[in-house]
Structure 1
Amino acid sequence: MAISRFFARRTALCTLAAAAAAVLLPLPSAAQGFPTKPLTIIVPFTPGGTTDLLARIVGQELAAELGQPVVIDNRAGAGGNIGAQAAARAPADGHTLFMGTVGTHAINAALYKKLPYDPVKDFVPLTRVATVPNVLVANPAQPFKTVPELIAYARANPGKVNFGSAGNGSSIHLSGELFKTMAKVDMQHVPYKGSAPAITDLLGNQIAIMFDNLPSALPYVRSGKLRALAVTTAKRSPELPDVPTIAEAGVPGYEAMSWFGLFVPAGTPAPVVGKLHSAIVKVLNKPEVKKRIAEQGGEAHPETAEKFAAFIQSESAKWSKVVQASGASVD
């Protein structure tokens, strides 16, 4: 999908926000019988990753809340597009939910020339589930220990600092591209087929740095095999309280995060949307759920559907510019 077309469609987010506002309306009796069968949460990535783990944490509690089993359906591939397409085509009766991400709903529309779903028109947002920081990590053998030292080294050695990612156009890749632009440094991107092989080469000092999701990098930071230079969010992570944010460390205004949220297909009745939203927010506010999400390096983030819709709009605009500046594109 062309970027110009993407921006032309951004006005449709007003419609999305209006649909989201319906969540706040009183629930008529038509919603009282819902759900009538097991629910499914489609996860657009493989089991064991952050998206999958969050879906299982929420799904377990949601099943108890709504009185029906919740099944996790992993539909991995194409940067989340396969799962998103399946969710968009599911019956709009509230029994199929989708665990969307910054990729499926803020990056892919600008990245992919052909997108098999419309992130605005095909979905109604329920709530953000969690935000997860990325962390800037370096091999300890590299000659820099802080972000200012990294910036100074990269400026003195243009193009010699390699940063790995989980793939071209991934949130990990684009976190690095945003850093390059804002810090005014020239670094070389090295894409991998997933985060794991990138981490392997980082541990072997084949690449210098990486902007990785905190949950996957944290064990290596704690063991001393990788050095954490900064986290990418606006505030420090409770898991790494002594590690500054990139903004604190010398790049004011820098902020990037992985985020995850639940959606239903467009056309789902407003009373059902409202009942789902209320149940999910209740689940996310439980102390034990917040604790389990924190153990994954994330932060529970229940919010109104209107706020979630506005957040998606701002994220879409932000990452579209980064994709365009990086030249990243996927056929």
Structure 2
Amino acid sequence: MTHIKSLTRVMILITMFIPGLLFAQHHKEKLSPVLFEHLRINVADKEATAKWYVENVGLEIIPSDNDDVVYVADKDHNFMFEFSSIPGLKNAYSDVDLNAYHLAFEGHATIEAVAEKMLENGATQLGEIYRNKVGDYVFNLQDPNGFAAQLINRVDAFYPDPVKSTIRFEHFAFNTEDQMLSALWYVQFMDLTIPWSKDIKADNNNYRTYRVPYIGDVEERMSFELFGKDLECSLNNMPHEVIHTAFSTDEPEKLAKRMIHGGARQVGEKRTEPNGDIIIDLYDPRGIPLRLIKRKPPIL
């Protein structure tokens, strides 16, 4: 009965707050795959930050023709950082709550050794290592810029284990007013998927609690983790030069049009970079900075 009530609530919210969703379900144009590509963070020293993640987490620098940023990916090239150092913009993040934003790495080996190396070289520990309700081991910390990073060892990993290393990007978490509604938005308007979402059994078998949803892409590169906590985040509606999550697509204009139809807000005009990349910046309906990018050629 509880699940029926929850479903009814979600359907009411859909019809009230997502413009054109019911129409879109019947007239949705099939687009090319939308893939997670990078997370942009503006920091005080992009080269030093890139080196820190290479030496302490086991990532690698990805060469590019853009001197304004440094790309750092996991060795299987699932996802990457895009570090910039633009003066006058936010470049420290210790004021941002862990439950508002954090970036998580998942490894099939122990996470204690990685955590120890990070802590020895400038990271700050956030609480003790713990085991969550589904049995995963989790360790939270902040990198030298104050950006919250999470190391997690899954009991039941929903993405393939790394091949070329012991660690991979797994999710980027942010807070949203209604996690189920946000999840449906990303599935409907960006063609993303739900790779993992569980109900957790309590001691009382008649009681089940909703697990936060994860939103991934079809190539199992990366995911969003959506929280539904009562807190504000200073990174919402932040300029894209400070922070954004980027998705690669061969049809950025068509995808942007669909997202805007669903309540997203475009920032500025579509632009073409000197190297031929096409970029469109938007905010989702809740103010999360997103970027659509068509690479020429692809980086990952």
TM over 0.5: no
Please identify which structure carries the higher helix content.
1
The structure whose residues are more often strand, as a share, is 2
Larger relative contact order (Cα-Cα within 8 Å, sequence gap ≥ 6): 1
Q: What's the TM-score bracket when you normalise by the shorter of the two chains? A: under 0.3
